[in-house]
Amino acid sequence: MEVRTRFAPSPTGHLHIGGARTALFNYLFAKRYGGKFILRIEDTDLERSSIESEKVIIESLRWLGIEWDEGVEVGGPYGPYRSTERVDIYKKYVDVLFEKGYAYYCYCTEEELEAQRQELLSKGQMPRYLGKCRNLTEDQKRRFEQEGRKPTVRFKVPEGVKIVVHDLVRGDVEFLSDDIGDFVIVKSDGIPTYNFAVVIDDHLMKISHVIRGEEHLSNTPRQILIYDALGFELPQFAHVSLILGKDRTKMSKRHGSTWVEQYKDQGYLKEGLINFLALLGWSPPEDREIFDMEYLIENFSLERVSKNPAIFDIDKLNYINSQHIKLKSLDELTQMCIPYFVEAGYIKEDEAKSKFEWLKKVVKSVYEGLDYLSQIKDRVDIFFNNEVKVEEDEAKEVLKWEHVKDLISVFENKIKQVNELTPEAIRLLFKEIQKETGYKGKNLFMPIRVVLTGKTHGPELVEIIEIVGKENILKRLEFFKTWYN
């Protein structure tokens, strides 16, 4: 049997981290076993679905490197791949359920359904539809239609049946049909519900494994009933754990960004995010945390997916992403940082090419310790602004040292005498200053650092001086004299 998995998001917003994890697990499982991964859009929620959201989801998946073999924008033998384009297909199977006695029209109003729900709750019972319209006569149906009521179609759930979900992650999970109640499979506007459409689509698209979030487990018995009623073979189910915040509550905005697009914009690498997502509920067969897509495809299995909730730890994501940043070549990293330099107003977009070699030096001096690339904006201001601002209390204290003015005067004279500020020339310059003034260590380097950058911490001072260059070093020293005096 060919392994065929799918990701079927509703285009009602951005690609959530949980959805991205689901897509990744389906993709990895299919690729691990030489199968196919399908992208299907479930846009049956007409009010909330939009083409814009679909585009965002598609772009986010492609950015992550999760490509599909069949589906929207790619095509394939089992299309169309949007639910709203498959309504005629669903209707055929609704007719089959009517013929077999598994479906009936329901004319209950929202008010009647809510009253029934409240009554069951008041008795301490699970809310469910009690089958009021199961056995309506033709006269009753006609009367309801004359009142202007538009019926839904409900699935007739058999009574007293135990439904067992054979789950590849959770083992056997049992449900009782009497707790479900007859459920809607076609809404009053003629659009099928998720629970019905997903069964038809998965069957016709020959989906072998349905890998999805734990929140869908409660839907599965309804879907199994439809599979059985239509005589379809069941796929294998695997429900992966919820993603919780560090406080063990459902992940939300208070735990950090929740969309893939937000992480992309902040400068997380796709490799880092994929690596982190894989560890949300899955463990590798060996003791390591940093790996690429190729390793994941070779090693992913459902046997190593945990049934326990996955914890979204932003510190762990930052660590993993920082390791992937270090794996990038300097050219690649610089290219990826340029949009953030432009965004911060440090350079113009059309200057990037001519300044690329210089920008490489800037990036090289600060990339160590970056968790994500947008952080670079706050680390490189020292290279772009000759009007140095001293705002840290510690830096202000340094400028109060008695020898600062004389030291800076000597430093300025030495700089003027150097033709080219290479690292070797700068180191020699400091040796000469030390010999001439007697200052060394912190007393030598800290005042110069503060005068040139306004800060007490940052890249190596030799790197700063080389990158800033002689002309701008002298400008900063002039600015310092004006400000200091």
Whether the predicted pLDDT of 485 surpasses 80: no
Residue 252 has pLDDT above 80, yes or no: no
Indicate if the pLDDT at residue 148 is higher than 80.
yes
Tell me the torsion sign for CA atoms 203, 208, 213, 217.
positive
DSSP sequence for 447-479? HHHHHHHS-SSSS-HHHHHHHH-HHHHHHHHHH
pLDDT band per the 50, 70, 90 thresholds, residue 368 = very high
Mean pLDDT, rounded, of the chain: 94
Q: Which two tokens stand for residue 356?
A: 């690329």
Output the pLDDT for position 245. 84
- Cα–Cα distance between 199 and 181 in angstroms, integer? 18
pLDDT in tens, 202-217: 999 999 999 999 999 9
Q: List active site positions.
A: 253
Residue 255 has pLDDT above 60, yes or no: no
What pLDDT sits at residue 361? 96
User: How far does CA 377 lie from the centroid of its chain?
Assistant: 22
Q: What is the mean pLDDT of residues 231-248?
A: 93
How far apart are the two ends of the chain, measured CA to CA in Å?
82
Poorest-confidence range of 217-221, 239-243, 246-250? 246-250
What is the model's pLDDT at position 46? 86
User: What was the pLDDT predicted at 184?
Assistant: 97
Residue 483 has pLDDT above 80, yes or no: no
pLDDT the model gives residue 283: 95
Main-chain phi, psi angles of 165, to 5 degrees: -95, 115
Q: What is the pTM of this model?
A: 0.92
Neighbours of 432 (CB within 10 A): 13
Q: Which residue has the tokens 């060394």?
A: 440
Alpha helices in 65-193 (DSSP H): 87-100, 110-122, 138-146
Mean pLDDT of all residues in 348-367 = 95
What pLDDT, on the 0 to 100 scale, is given for residue 89? 97
In whole angstroms, give the CA distance from residue 247 to residue 387. 44
SS3 content of the chain, % helix, strand, coil (to 5): 50, 10, 35
Mean pLDDT score, 39-44 = 95
Band (pLDDT 50/70/90 cuts) for residue 249 is confident
Q: What is the pLDDT of residues 372-419, one digit of tens each?
A: 999 999 999 999 988 888 888 999 999 999 999 999 999 999 999 998
Task: Provide the strand spans (E) within 11-168.
Answer: 36-39, 70-71, 103-106, 152-155, 162-167
38 bridge partner residues: 6, 70
Helix (H, G, I), strand (E, B) or coil at 67: coil
Q: Give the torsion through C-alpha atoms of 180, 183, 185, 190, to 10 deg.
A: -160
Give the model's pLDDT for residue 484: 64
How confident is the model over 294-330, as pLDDT tens digits? Answer: 999 999 999 999 999 999 999 999 999 999 999 999 9
Q: Provide the pLDDT confidence category of residue 44 given band limits of 50, 70 and 90.
A: confident
DSSP 272-340: HHHHHHHTTTB--SSS-----HHHHHHH--GGGB-SSPEE--HHHHHHHHHHHHHHS-HHHHHHHHHHH
Average pLDDT over residues 34-51: 94
